[in-house]
Chains A and B, each alone.
Chain A
């Protein structure tokens, strides 16, 4: 199809509306900062509607490019791709971002810097939408960095708290370490294929080694962004940000970017890359699930569960189940955002309830409890999302997890065991979370009330998106599944086994946590020593830096000083030559002229007698000359 360029302004409008919102909110004065949430939300709603119109009118795939940087040998194009995969992600990002905006109106109502918050939130959305749409790896990398930057700003929103500032810096530094790998991968691709167009990337037979290196480097970037095994310790700390930000980071924007990139670049990964991905994903999924099992902070449990689910997605990508990974990404976006917004509602209510006593940590699930009666709507939404997380039937998580499990079980044995174990653990920690927060009798009785309507609405929409209520191609499906028009085939045995595993997990959870133990299993270190490893890494880097600095001072500086001394000596020499020889010639000639002038001038002194004397002397000389 020849691209219909009339939709270009339309697509630009979709991604530029949040940017406009960000710009407007940044300009708003403090005095009228209450309009910032309204502006941002309305513009975000417009963006959602435009994205939906774009999606509905999608007829065929298209690429729109325009040359940006023309080099003598090649050119870099910027542009965007329009296809089902991209637009589905675009719609999901827009919708979840809009819901988070809506939720933030209630959640951030009392915040001092609300205009700046909404400005950054809209900017975050803009960056992620740009990342989703771009069809060139270099442009994608730019948006990738913008996503990292705006997440840094949002995690550090309460930057007057040292822990928040530290967490923001940590998130930024660790993802930057990954981005370095991404950049190297992009450069490797550029040098091997000479093109960065995503559509033109494919696995060529000739450059397998180079492609493997490039794929691994890009995967390092994904590891940083999507919180995979060695680089995931920033994500639990990122909980220092406001809860809606966590929802956005975990659902649609930050961590989704890594998995989304893997899906976009799927054709270029070599078998070795896929194996590495599967391994890393498996480790991450297992560690994340174990971490979620021992945490007591409600937001950190969700963070670790995100890590685990991301590991599952990466594992699916590595097992060549891109469809399963992608659907799980989208479903996860809905139910994880729902969980975070539910948690945000709970925290908001708890904070409202105890604004005198600040020594109680309301994020600790041991201090919560019994909220089923006081917050019924939030409970119901939370329950649906948690069921989707655990993968119970009739939820979105069930479908995508079945697809992944089918594919992984078919591929390799060790990893499939991990996938099943993770599925089992997920059921346990989902149960534990719901049980602690809503069922068990609380340690402290908090006079909580249900969250404001505007916050509830967002949570309800997200939990509704997590149910598989649509009938499509003879099977139960979710909205995103229909949008992707994916078809799947899950064997009956797998589905049965999966349901049994989940039910077994829930039962285990009930047996383990029925008596609500307040002690954690101390043999699981929640950070898995990754902070320690990072610290050691930094120490090694510092030691290396001091060695190189010593080398600099001791040798390079010395050589430089020697050169400088040589130069000074040379300068002295030339100065001597200048003053003595060059100036000497000039001064000498002028002195000669002056002396001659002096001689003549003193001779011609205007005294008549001296003239006479000279005349006489001349006469005498003349006479002597003639005589002899």
Chain B
């Protein structure tokens, strides 16, 4: 098995793990963590597809994305904090003001 192939499989594993976390976990923080895993799976793809090319724009792009992801995570956690502050919960299922009660 070549190196990019290992990376692809790792990327698929990360994507599926992230998706499962996003679909099943209750807490918004954990869901955010699952989203980070999916993001990293995408990053791994960028790195893996750039493995056989002389240019390094793929790796650079991955680095750039990690940077943006850090900011995005900060913004996400800030929104979570705000949400907690307002709703007194971080579980999205409990936030159901628009839903009919039955």
Interface residues of A (CB under 8 A from B): 605-609, 612-613, 616
Contacts of B22 in A (CB 8 A): 609, 612
A607 touches B92 (CB 8 A): yes
When A and B form their complex, which 7 residue pairs have the shortest distance between CB atoms, in order from nearest?
A606-B99, A608-B92, A613-B23, A609-B23, A606-B96, A607-B93, A612-B22
Contacts of B19 in A (CB 8 A): 616
Residues in B88-102 with C-beta less than 8 Å from chain A:
92-93, 96, 98-99
B36 to chain A, nearest CB (A): 15
Contacts of A609 in B (CB 8 A): 22-24, 31, 92
A56 to chain B, nearest CB (A): 106
What is the CA–CA distance of A616 and B23 in the complex, to the nearest angstrom? 10
What is the CA–CA distance of A227 and B93 in the complex, to the nearest angstrom? 110
B30 to chain A, nearest CB (A): 11
Residue contacts A-B, CB under 8 angstroms, 16 given = A605-B99, A606-B96, A606-B98, A606-B99, A607-B92, A607-B93, A608-B92, A609-B22, A609-B23, A609-B24, A609-B31, A609-B92, A612-B22, A613-B23, A616-B19, A616-B23
Contacts of B23 in A (CB 8 A): 609, 612-613, 616
Known contacts A609-B22, A609-B31, A616-B19; 7 further A-B pairs (Cβ under 8 A): A605-B99, A606-B96, A607-B92, A607-B93, A608-B92, A609-B23, A613-B23
Contacts of A616 in B (CB 8 A): 19, 23
Interface residues of B (CB under 8 A from A): 19, 22-24, 31, 92-93, 96, 98-99
B95 to chain A, nearest CB (A): 9
Which residue of A has the minimal Cβ distance to B93?
A607
Contacts of A607 in B (CB 8 A): 92-93
Contacts of B24 in A (CB 8 A): 609
A620 to chain B, nearest CB (A): 11
Contacts of A613 in B (CB 8 A): 23
Which residue of B has the minimal Cβ distance to A605?
B99
Contacts of B93 in A (CB 8 A): 607
What is the CA–CA distance of A505 and B43 in the complex, to the nearest angstrom? 159
Which residue of B has the minimal Cβ distance to A606?
B99
B21 to chain A, nearest CB (A): 10
- Number of A-B residue pairs, CB cutoff 8 Å, is 17
Which residue of A has the minimal Cβ distance to B98?
A606
B78 to chain A, nearest CB (A): 19
Which residue of A has the minimal Cβ distance to B19?
A616
Which residue of A has the minimal Cβ distance to B28?
A608
A348 to chain B, nearest CB (A): 101
What is the CA–CA distance of A616 and B22 in the complex, to the nearest angstrom? 11
Which residue of B has the minimal Cβ distance to A609?
B23
Contacts of B92 in A (CB 8 A): 607-609
What is the CA–CA distance of A262 and B49 in the complex, to the nearest angstrom? 138
A616 to chain B, nearest CB (A): 7
Which residue of B has the minimal Cβ distance to A613?
B23
What is the CA–CA distance of A606 and B22 in the complex, to the nearest angstrom? 16
A617 to chain B, nearest CB (A): 11
B33 to chain A, nearest CB (A): 14
What is the CA–CA distance of A148 and B24 in the complex, to the nearest angstrom? 106
Contacts of B98 in A (CB 8 A): 606
B20 to chain A, nearest CB (A): 10
Contacts of B31 in A (CB 8 A): 609
What is the CA–CA distance of A612 and B93 in the complex, to the nearest angstrom? 13
What is the CA–CA distance of A96 and B98 in the complex, to the nearest angstrom? 107
B94 to chain A, nearest CB (A): 11
What is the CA–CA distance of A607 and B94 in the complex, to the nearest angstrom? 9
Which residue of A has the minimal Cβ distance to B97?
A606
Which residue of B has the minimal Cβ distance to A604?
B99
Contacts of A605 in B (CB 8 A): 99
What is the CA–CA distance of A613 and B19 in the complex, to the nearest angstrom? 9
Contacts of A606 in B (CB 8 A): 96, 98-99
B90 to chain A, nearest CB (A): 13
Which residue of A has the minimal Cβ distance to B102?
A601
Which residue of A has the minimal Cβ distance to B24?
A609
What is the CA–CA distance of A616 and B20 in the complex, to the nearest angstrom? 11
Which residue of A has the minimal Cβ distance to B92?
A608
What is the CA–CA distance of A613 and B20 in the complex, to the nearest angstrom? 9
What is the CA–CA distance of A616 and B19 in the complex, to the nearest angstrom? 9
B61 to chain A, nearest CB (A): 23
B25 to chain A, nearest CB (A): 8
A623 to chain B, nearest CB (A): 13
A331 to chain B, nearest CB (A): 108
A592 to chain B, nearest CB (A): 21
What is the CA–CA distance of A533 and B5 in the complex, to the nearest angstrom? 131
B29 to chain A, nearest CB (A): 14
B101 to chain A, nearest CB (A): 11
What is the CA–CA distance of A461 and B23 in the complex, to the nearest angstrom? 130
What is the CA–CA distance of A612 and B98 in the complex, to the nearest angstrom? 18
Which residue of A has the minimal Cβ distance to B26?
A609
Which residue of B has the minimal Cβ distance to A607?
B93
A280 to chain B, nearest CB (A): 99
What is the CA–CA distance of A313 and B81 in the complex, to the nearest angstrom? 133
What is the CA–CA distance of A607 and B23 in the complex, to the nearest angstrom? 10
What is the CA–CA distance of A359 and B22 in the complex, to the nearest angstrom? 125
What is the CA–CA distance of A609 and B92 in the complex, to the nearest angstrom? 9
B84 to chain A, nearest CB (A): 16
What is the CA–CA distance of A253 and B46 in the complex, to the nearest angstrom? 136
What is the CA–CA distance of A609 and B22 in the complex, to the nearest angstrom? 7
What is the CA–CA distance of A193 and B22 in the complex, to the nearest angstrom? 110
Contacts of B96 in A (CB 8 A): 606
What is the CA–CA distance of A95 and B57 in the complex, to the nearest angstrom? 149
What is the CA–CA distance of A465 and B2 in the complex, to the nearest angstrom? 160
What is the CA–CA distance of A605 and B99 in the complex, to the nearest angstrom? 8
What is the CA–CA distance of A608 and B99 in the complex, to the nearest angstrom? 12
A531 to chain B, nearest CB (A): 92
What is the CA–CA distance of A605 and B23 in the complex, to the nearest angstrom? 14
What is the CA–CA distance of A606 and B94 in the complex, to the nearest angstrom? 10
